[in-house]
Amino acid sequence: MAFLSKASCKLNYLRDRLAERAVRALPASTMTVTCRRPVVSFTFDDVPCTALSAGARILEEYGVRGTFYIAGGLLNQVEPDRNMISVQGCHELAEAGHELGCHTFGHEIVHTLSGRALRENLDRNGALLDTFERPVKKRNFAYPYNQGSLWHRQLIADRYQTARGGGDRINRGTVNRGFLWGMEIRQPEQDALALVRQIDEVVKNPGWLIFFTHDVSDTPTPYGCTPSTFSTLVRYAVSSNCLVLPVRDALEHVRG
Ligand SMILES: [Zn+2]
């Protein structure tokens, strides 16, 4: 039995990797990243309370702003290892000039939904985000679990300016606008801190480095980091003369 479950784990892993390669290989829409000055975006998925109380505050200390990909159904949720942002918290982010992006309503994996269910889901989340800030024509999106969808790629490309996955790479040259590369800030802490080297890379050869993380806490989950490390990364990006911008504003600079 152990052998079988190990084999099925491996098969699932291979299936997911193949699906990701297919989504990347067949973009619905591309864009060209050409920038003279390196651009760095700090983004948060799901948005635990500490992304506001520590993450947003640290960005503000350095005079910059970030992108927060909200899943409306997670608001106010209390999870075993984290509490999620409140309605009031979303208002605070918007008032401070941060960008609110979409992360589906209930954190569903996009490729598990039908086209109709996905449209309804995204409409619902978009309507909620419109209550926090002035409605915008097209927001930015991040895929739950970084899992894109071959089937829905056109729908996502039509609705959003960009959609971000993972992959731990810097965006340069021709990139898939519906599946941008994201660089994860996560545990172990020394790996998170070593991401300053990625900032060196984007300075050496300018492109668009999009970081993403979750909680910013002294006792981080595996998917977050400490305030000290987050602060180090933001300070390093700012002092390296990178443009540190939310995704919405970065777009004006990375397209030449
Ligand atoms: Zn997520």
Domain locations in the chain? 31-254
Q: Phi and psi at residue 148, in whole multiples of 5°?
A: -80, -175
Q: Taking the alpha carbons of 158, 109, 144, 73 in that order, is the dihedral positive or negative?
A: positive
Centroid of ligand 1 to alpha carbon of 63 (angstroms): 26
Do 100 and 140 touch, CB atoms closer than 8 A?
no
For residue 250, give the amino acid letter.
A
Centroid of ligand 1 to alpha carbon of 72 (angstroms): 12
Centroid of ligand 1 to alpha carbon of 103 (angstroms): 7
pLDDT for the residue numbered 256? 67
pLDDT for the residue numbered 3? 63
Nearest CA among 254, 246, 200 for reference residue 43: 246
Do 76 and 84 touch, CB atoms closer than 8 A?
yes
Q: For residues 140, 123, 223 and 231, what is the CA-based torsion angle, rounded to 10 degrees? A: 40
Beta strands in the chain (DSSP E): 30-33, 39-46, 67-70, 78-79, 82-83, 99-102, 141-142, 163-167, 173-176, 180-184, 208-213, 243-244
pLDDT for the residue numbered 120? 98
pLDDT for the residue numbered 16? 83
Compute CA 63 distance to the chain's CA centroid, rounded to the nearest angstrom. Answer: 20
Centroid of ligand 1 to alpha carbon of 167 (angstroms): 15
Q: Quickly list DSSP for 6-23.
A: HHHHHHHHHHHHHHHHHH
Helix/strand number for the chain, H first, E second:
10, 12
Residues with CB under 5 A from ligand 1 (ion): 45-46, 144
Is the domain defined by 31-254 classed in CATH 3.20.20.370?
Answer: yes
Centroid of ligand 1 to alpha carbon of 146 (angstroms): 8
Q: What is the pLDDT along the chain (256 residues), one digit of tens a residue?
A: 566 688 888 888 888 888 889 989 899 999 999 999 999 999 999 999 999 999 999 999 999 999 999 999 999 999 999 999 999 999 999 999 999 999 999 999 999 999 999 999 999 999 999 999 988 999 999 999 999 999 999 999 999 999 999 999 999 999 999 999 999 999 999 999 999 999 999 999 999 999 999 999 999 999 999 999 999 999 999 999 999 999 999 999 998 6
CA distance 192 to 213: 10
- Residue in the structure block whose two tokens are 């990797």: 17
pLDDT for the residue numbered 182? 98
pLDDT for the residue numbered 135? 86
